Amino acid sequence: MADVLIFDMDGVISDTQVIHAAAESETLKKLFNITISPQEVTRRFNGTSLRAMIDILSDEYRIRPNFEKTRELFYESLFQMAEENIRPMPGALELIERVRSHLPLAVASTSRHDFIDLVLTSLHIKDAFDIIVSGQDVTKSKPEPDIFLLAAKKFRKDPTQCVVIEDSVAGATAAERAGMRCIVFAPRLIWDEYPMSAIKMDRLDSITVEYIKNL
């Protein structure tokens, strides 16, 4: 029986995965003249950290990036794009309101703490979450399980007592590796890309408290 519900943020709570991908695409073009569309960035790197993406592309394109400069430009673009453009994913706010009085809630996002704070504050839901874990808090990013294991540790819960809601393959893989049940919120046409253990749903409004507790 589930005792804790852990949300990914970008692409689950908020539509900010689109903004992330656009900022990453813009940064790659400006610094390295690498043209990768936001859609392709999402397809290949959704759920992974900026550093992991840059490490992969460094090998592919034989570049030697200054990561600090890359991160600085990326977050500058991200915050500019996000200003007044943060929207909730369909059904996300209603789901949070529906479950918050029944289960402890956490956010576990690879985004930086200040960006998580911006998103949750903009959507007026920061106080709904008991614990917030960022990619800054762990050494290894998704698909490694570290961020979810840290959330469970902060709740003093066994990972098997936790349910995760994710949208990315990397995130669903991380949840599986952590020993947690994972609900994948993603379009049906890409469900085959996710771990077999993931529970696939294309609507957040179909998730109930009873369903989560009984996973």
CATH number, domain of 106, equals 3.40.50.1000
Last residue of a domain, one of 60, 82, 104: 82
Same domain, 55 and 9: no
Domain count, the chain: 2
Are residues 114 and 195 both part of a single domain?
yes
Rounded CA-CA distance 50/112 in Å is 10
**Are residues 20 and 8 part of one domain?**
no
For residues 97 and 199, membership in a common domain is answered with yes
> To the nearest whole number, what is the mean pLDDT of the chain?
95
Same domain, 77 and 55: yes
pTM: 0.92
- Alpha carbons 108 and 164: distance in angstroms, whole number: 9
Q: Are residues 113 and 42 in the same domain?
A: no
Mean pLDDT over 160-166 rounds to: 98
Q: Among 49, 82, 115, give the residue marking a domain's end.
A: 82
Do 108 and 78 sit in the same domain of this protein? no
Looking at 82, 107, 134, which one is the last position of a domain?
82
Angle in degrees, 0-180, between the axes of helices 113-122 and 67-82, rounded to the nearest 10: 10
Is residue 73 domain-shared with residue 132, that is, in the same domain?
Answer: no
pLDDT for 64-91, tens place per residue?
999 999 999 999 999 999 988 999 999 9
Task: For residue 126, give both structure tokens.
Answer: 């920061």
Q: Domain check: are 59 and 162 in the same one? A: no
| pLDDT interval class at 189 (50, 70, 90) | confident
Average pLDDT over residues 208-212: 94
Interatomic CA distance for residues 104 and 101, integer angstroms: 8
What the block records as the tokens of 110 is: 């690879």
Residue 17: per-residue pLDDT: 92
75 and 114, same domain (yes or no):
no
Nearest to 169 by CA among 161, 177, 157, 158: 177
- Rounded to the nearest 10 degrees, how much is the dihedral formed by the CA atoms of 158, 159, 160, 163? 130
What residue numbers bound the domain in which 109 lies? 4-15+87-213
Q: Could you tell me if 51 and 149 lie in one domain?
A: no
